[in-house]
Amino acid sequence: MAIINKEELVTVGKILGTFGIKGYLKILSFTDPRSNILSYSPIYISCKDEWIEARISKGRLQGKSVVIKLDDFTSKSHALPLIGAELAIKSKQLKPVKKGEFYWSNLIGLTVINSQEQILGQVNYLIETEAHDVLVVKEDGQCRERLIPFVMGETIEIVDFDDRVIRVNWGTDY
């Protein structure tokens, strides 16, 4: 089995539980639309600090989640130990984006700096809301998180991947 470098992986979902008795898994898809997760093969499963390669043999939308069947998982007992595991793909499996577009995963870890050149922290993750996406920014060594609306031209001034910085119109007291 090949060793997979975590840095080349993009998390695309999480295993929520089992579905039925034949080894199906109920997953929360982080893709948009959520059914896109079914098109990725292979997929990688986090298991005891390792990433195991797997292939989706069947899958479908089921309510607000997705149900998948992995090759070599034939019973509920095979699937049970995977509950809570993350699902990922290699970043090279993602479709190329157009100029000015990017994936959320590209924003994770970027330093957020405001107009006054104050470092607000690093992007920890993003949240999707009905109004707009939200950056969750965390300072090193701090428990506090800042929620910054991701609205280009308003709160987000520029995303600079070369310098690994997002410049924002946001105060330190927000």
Classified as helix, coil or strand, 97 is coil
The H or E element containing residue 107 is: helix 104-107
- 101-112, pLDDT tens digit by residue? 888 888 999 999
The contacts of residue 7 (CB under 8 Å, 6+ apart) are: none
1 within some domain: no
Contact 79, 25 (CB under 8 A): yes
Q: CB-side exposure of 158: number of CA atoms within 13 Å?
A: 10
Q: Which tens digits make up the pLDDT trace of 135-153?
A: 999 998 888 899 999 999 9
Read off the CATH number of the domain in which 67 is found.
Answer: 2.40.30.60
Q: Are residues 139 and 67 part of one domain?
A: no
Q: What is the pTM of this model?
A: 0.72
Q: Which domain holds residue 143?
A: 104-168
pLDDT digits (tens), the chain, 174 positions: 455 667 789 999 999 999 999 999 999 998 888 999 999 989 999 988 889 899 999 999 998 889 999 998 888 988 899 999 999 999 889 888 888 888 888 899 999 999 999 999 999 989 888 899 999 999 988 888 999 999 999 999 999 999 999 999 998 888
Number of domains the chain contains:
2
Q: Of the residues 71, 93, 115, which one is the last residue of a structural domain?
A: 93
- 14 and 86: one domain? yes
pLDDT for res 1: 46
Together in a domain, 131 and 84: no
